[in-house]
Amino acid sequence: MFSLGNTEHVFENRSNKSLRCEAFILLILSKKILGQALIKLSILFKNVRIFKKFPGNFFVKRFYCSDSIDELKKLSVDNFHNRILTCVSPISNRQGSIIDLLSALKTDKFDVPGLEFLFLNVDDYIENRILNLVSNDGLLNQADKKTFHLFTEHIEEVCGIAQQKGKSVILYTANFSSFPAIQAIAIDLMQRYNTKSASVYLLFHLCHVNTQKRITELVRMGTNQGFIAGVAISKYLTPEYITQKQEQNYADESPCNSFNQTKRTFHEVTKFLLNNIDFLSAFIVSHNPDNLLYLTSLMENYQVGQSNKNVTIVQRYGMAKVISYNLANRGYNTALIVPYGTFESSLIWMDKLYQSDPSLPNILAEQRFAVLRELNRRKLEN
């Protein structure tokens, strides 16, 4: 067992003044009502052009990368020097932005050291209404058929180019009712592109009922059909989120596990993944120190090497620095999901994150406590 709380090497290039400022900002953001209100206020100011980037830039700049290839390269290289991989997550409120992404992939824009993953939220590129119809075998009109066909073509081309360039794509939807359609697309892509290594992953939310069964079936299908199952897991769509969606009359949302059931699912799924690690590739998103210590202990018990290429442990950029650095320093394959887009897009992304991830304030509070621990360590050292 090792500690995920060592702060010295994480903040070695930061002054006490900058750390105190960081702690203050994280204190504000960890208060959900206050933090979300300030983000919404920043969006309003941006829309009415009162202030260009105030006050939002103070709050979101540490959590995303501006849509500049030079900035992305710098961030990815810095991560790589710390043995951390980068998973770029394009954020956009514009329809058709997948075409821009496709153009970028075709060039050398994503040929950056350490940039190994592309986190693709399909909700940004097609209406959930269409995916819901496809998931439920509903009838599409001609316009919707064309839209869905173009969407699947673009996804396929992105995955094909990513494979050629040695990158991997994680497909993700926040809407459970859209999941069957995305799962069918992902399986088809895995059958084509995951024959030698995992180029395509599908993200499963562990709080949803039947997720464990779906993962088991995917891995068995891959074993039988000769492809590597790319399994990404996360818990951050919590029961509170599902309850909220049900109250908004999303009648086809999946029933959600309780907190304890979700935790048990995490334990059972990670056991299953590690026990079958030769037949799959796991992309595990977690900011919870207890869950991560459980995972690393399980890897040791199952004799899965820390540097095993089929296990990647992932956090969001800027939200768990101490955890990420300590995992990487110990030799585990570690990656950061880096939102990549405009300042306006980052505000909208952060606002949505407050809505969809009730654990976000706790994650930010943990990050603040890590900063305070480092300040206290320096004080005692002097």
- Give the model's pLDDT for residue 95: 47
pLDDT bin (cut points 50, 70, 90) of residue 125 is confident
State the sign of the Cα–Cα–Cα–Cα dihedral 237, 240, 245, 250: positive
Query: Encoding tokens for residue 215?
Result: 């993962």
- Give the model's pLDDT for residue 54: 63
Q: How far is CA 77 from the centre of its chain?
A: 19
- Give the model's pLDDT for residue 240: 47
Instruction: Outline where the chain has alpha helix (H).
Output: 16-29, 32-48, 56-60, 69-81, 97-106, 128-135, 142-164, 179-193, 211-225, 239-247, 259-275, 289-301, 321-330, 343-356, 360-381
- The CA–CA distances, whole Å, from 88 to 300, 311, 335 equal 29, 18, 10
355: CB partners within 8 A, 6+ apart: 36, 241, 244
Q: Residue 132 — left, alpha, or beta (φ > 0 → left; ψ -120 to 50 → alpha)?
A: alpha
Give 138's DSSP letter. Answer: P
286: CB partners within 8 A, 6+ apart: 234, 235, 266, 292, 295, 313, 314, 315
Greatest mean pLDDT among 84-93, 157-166, 293-302 lies in 293-302
Across all residues in the chain, what is the average pLDDT? 86
C-alpha–C-alpha distance, residues 268 and 50, integer Å: 51
Give me the domains of the chain, ranges plus CATH numbers.
Answer: 65-343 (3.20.20.220)
295: CB partners within 8 A, 6+ apart: 270, 284, 286, 313
Q: How do strand 229-234 and strand 200-205 relate by DSSP bridges?
A: parallel
- Phi then psi for residue 64, to 5 deg, are -150, 170
pLDDT bin (cut points 50, 70, 90) of residue 236 is low
Per DSSP, the three-state class of 46 is: helix
178-182, 232-236, 304-308: segment of lowest average pLDDT: 232-236
User: What is 331-376 written as a DSSP string?
Assistant: T--EEEEEEEE-HHHHHHHHHHHHHH-TTHHHHHHHHHHHHHHHHH
C-alpha–C-alpha distance, residues 299 and 305, integer Å: 7
Instruction: Read off the pLDDT of residues 49-83 as tens digits, 9 standing for 90 and up.
Output: 666 666 667 788 889 998 888 888 899 999 999 99
pTM of the model: 0.90
C-alpha–C-alpha distance, residues 239 and 95, integer Å: 29
- Phi then psi for residue 136, to 5 deg, are -105, 20
The CA R_g of the chain, rounded to the nearest whole Å, is: 20
- Give the model's pLDDT for residue 260: 78
C-alpha–C-alpha distance, residues 131 and 180, integer Å: 8
- Phi then psi for residue 230, to 5 deg, are -95, 105
C-alpha–C-alpha distance, residues 197 and 245, integer Å: 37
